[in-house]
Structure 1
Amino acid sequence: MFVTVALWIMMSLAHALGEQAFAAEVTAVRMGNHRDHTRFVVDLSENLSFSVSPTSQPDRVIVEIGAVAWRMPPVSGGGTGVVRRYRYNDVAAQIVLELVRPAVITKAFMLSPDKNHGWRLVIDVTEATLEAVAHDQHLHRESRMPTVAHLLNNDDSLSQQALQVSVSSAQLSSSQPPAMTSVSPLMSSQRVAVPMPPLPPVSLQKERRPMIVLDPGHGGADPGATGFSGIFEKHITLAMALELREKLLGTNRYRVMLTREDDTFIALRERVASARAHNADLFISIHADAIATPEICGLSVYTLSEEASDQEAAALAERENRADLIGGIDLSRESRDVANILIDLVQRETMNHSAQLASAFTRELRREIRLLPKTHRFAGFAVLKAPDVPAILLEMGYLSNPKEEQLLHQPAYRAKLSSAMVRAVDDYFKRRKISLL
């Protein structure tokens, strides 16, 4: 009898302790895609402290909400917007948002109950932009957000408000969150990591003219391609670069620098380093190709491929000179995760601008000369790998084609080409809404 009573008391005590330890319950998780952000909502039985942490490689957001009981089925499901999918770890009391791309936590707050809902944790995730990081980069150096419980204890009047930590001026919509999808369980053995903020924009100061670096391909001991009649690519590219420099300077809107001004060999990395050292706003590498099929002709424009940019970003993050400024950010002040994200975001922004420049060149040049099909192409050329300088590699044509070689050798043809290039550069800055002096 005594043993039975003792066991009953122990079981009751354990049950009571268990109920106390997991008094809070997660009853649902849902998500909706809005115009400029993805909203993630966690339905809770009571107010809880929480933290929201972004990490990189892979891009994720980790939401920690302490000891809770999970009252929802382990249903698999996908995400929406910037969230690829989300899942929960009932052992670590974590919800993990796997992201499509780096993103910023623009809002994270607890909503108090109303007649239709209990407590709700609301998290808004927005695709990372350079402007967002430049504006509030310091917020992301904090590893944890303040808890709602702490805020409520200091001001009862806040209990009816949406308490938020925001890195944007946008206000939380008061409308009902849209219909959302369900969650899939996260195995406790899985590791989590997440995205981070955006980077400072590489913006032009209005009091200075843009710096354009022209890179005549090859030179010195490296002749480049050999034309149908024996002419070397290095001579054609230098002649074109000199012509283009004069046209750009003639507008009085740009400053121009050449990576070489004579028949000199310059290493590829030195060309890129020179552009960055001069705070270049654009880098244009000039080339002319040659292949075994002489019938092929036409101009093409290259920008950095996605795969090559990923490899370059990883290599850059591991270099000992990581303290260099990348896009205006001093990486020596940042953790490895933040540095990786900043590099990725700066490079992503740079690649977008490079693509815009390539489009401008394609539009203007097609009016004057023959272009290759699929004119804008992608490759891992070393001279395109500056993480914070928009860059294109221009293949003016094929020296292996007799007619095209002859054209590239003519000053009048190069003058026509250079005029179209100047219009393309003007168009690029106009579309970026950068006023030129």
Structure 2
Amino acid sequence: MQRGIASCHTALRALVLLALAILGSAAASSRPRWPLPDAALQVLALPPAQDGDVGIRRKPRIYIDPGHGAPRGNTGNTSCVCESEEVFNARTAEKLYRGLAATGRFELKLSRKQGQTRAYQARVREAEAWGADVLLGIHSDCRGELVYCAADGGQSCPCSGESHDAAGFSLLYSDEDPELTGRRLGLAQALARRMKEAGFLPYDGAEYVPYLYESDDVEGSFVDRHSPGRRIYMLRKPRLASVIVETHHASDPEERQRWEEPRTHEAFAAAVAAAVLDLQAHQGSAQEPGQLPSARAP
């Protein structure tokens, strides 16, 4: 009799857990999904600084590179509000710089400011000479089939449809150098995980695979698969952990608008900070205290 009662209790408990799981799944699926206006972003809490992080342990050095802005008209894509990518990248990189600086946990350097042009070779040399631990290229992407839509001032700008099928962020890295691949892969995947955790949507790679990039086992993380002569300089050339963050699909009007919101930049900076600190914690046992694997000036 007692055994029968116990079996009933076990079955009832299993049914309750199943019902809760179904309700939780339904609630999750009903929540607005990025980039819809009501899709919430989370500002991730950072792990507390350890006693050795101040004064003794060197802070991670992050070199922030607003993509494009090189000589000879290298302006990047044009968004759905007819803004050139180099302008968006510089503005976003400056906000990221301020957000990371506010944590007090990093040493930071910007490769260029708004309105400046600078050769890619000079950026790589500066990052390596400074002893950067990571190089973050800040970009936006342009994907999928586009139409032209009216923007302010009567301009006609490239736009995507309303399905958001090309929306989302991506992290790009190079695996050309075996000595650096592990660092680059680790950085790309840490950033992808933290951005997804914050509520950003990982791009599914439909326009990437197989000829431009190859996906790996973390959503939103991709390795460069352009033909060998056309692979991305800022991914393969730096002698350190270098990645490109394609923040969003610049031709998606709703996603583009989300990147005008202060909350988006706050959440992005917190995700970047958390990812770099994740790497520091993971690699600390194999490195000098406080150091990530990096290039060092001779």
TM-score interval for Structure 1 and Structure 2 normalised by the shorter chain? 0.5 to 0.7
Conserved 8 A contact 2:89-2:139 = yes
Bigger CA radius of gyration: 1
Alignment of 1:218-229 (within 5 A): 218-219=68-69, 221-229=73-81
Residue number in structure 1 paired with 2:182:
352
Alignment of 1:61-80 (within 5 A): none
In 1, the alpha carbon distance for the partners of 2:257 and 2:99 equals 22
Q: 1:265 and 1:412, CA in 2 relative to 1: closer, same or farther beyond 3 A?
A: same
Matched, 1:216 2:71: no
User: Number of residue pairs matched?
Assistant: 193
Structure 1: 5+ residue stretches without partners: 1-204, 310-346
Counterpart pick for 2:250 among 394, 399, 408: 399
Structure 2: 5+ residue stretches without partners: 1-54, 146-159, 205-214, 225-230, 292-298
Alignment of 1:122-271 (within 5 A): 207-219=57-69, 221-271=73-123
Residue number in structure 2 paired with 1:279:
131
Residue number in structure 2 paired with 1:432:
283
Residue number in structure 1 paired with 2:202:
371
Residue number in structure 2 paired with 1:382:
233
Residue number in structure 2 paired with 1:31:
none
- Alpha-carbon distance, 1:251 to partner: 2.3
Conserved 8 A contact 2:87-2:114 = no
Q: 1:387 and 1:218, CA in 2 relative to 1: closer, same or farther beyond 3 A?
A: closer
In 2, the alpha carbon distance for the partners of 1:401 and 1:389 equals 33
Structure with the higher fraction of residues in helix conformation: 2
- Cα RMSD for the two superposed structures: 2.1
CA deviations over 1:295-322 (Å, ceiling 9, x no partner): 41110000014xxx2xxxxxxxxxxxxx
Higher relative contact order (CA 8 A, sep 6+): 2
- Alpha-carbon distance, 1:378 to partner: 1.3
Counterpart pick for 1:411 among 262, 270, 273: 262
In 2, the alpha carbon distance for the partners of 1:208 and 1:280 equals 12
- Alpha-carbon distance, 1:206 to partner: 5.9
In 1, the alpha carbon distance for the partners of 2:253 and 2:126 equals 35
SS of the residue aligned with 1:301? strand
- Alpha-carbon distance, 1:391 to partner: 0.7
- Alpha-carbon distance, 1:210 to partner: 2.3
Structure with the higher fraction of residues in strand conformation: 1
In 2, the alpha carbon distance for the partners of 1:265 and 1:396 equals 21
Task: State the TM-score, normalizing by the size of structure 1.
Answer: 0.42
Q: Which amino acid aligns with 2:278?
A: D
Q: Which amino acid aligns with 2:138?
A: I
Task: State the TM-score, normalizing by the size of structure 2.
Answer: 0.60
- Alpha-carbon distance, 1:280 to partner: 1.0
- Alpha-carbon distance, 1:208 to partner: 2.8
SS of the residue aligned with 2:203? strand
SS of the residue aligned with 1:372? coil
Residue number in structure 1 paired with 2:212:
none
In 2, the alpha carbon distance for the partners of 1:424 and 1:393 equals 14
Conserved 8 A contact 1:236-1:409 = no
Conserved 8 A contact 1:357-1:428 = yes
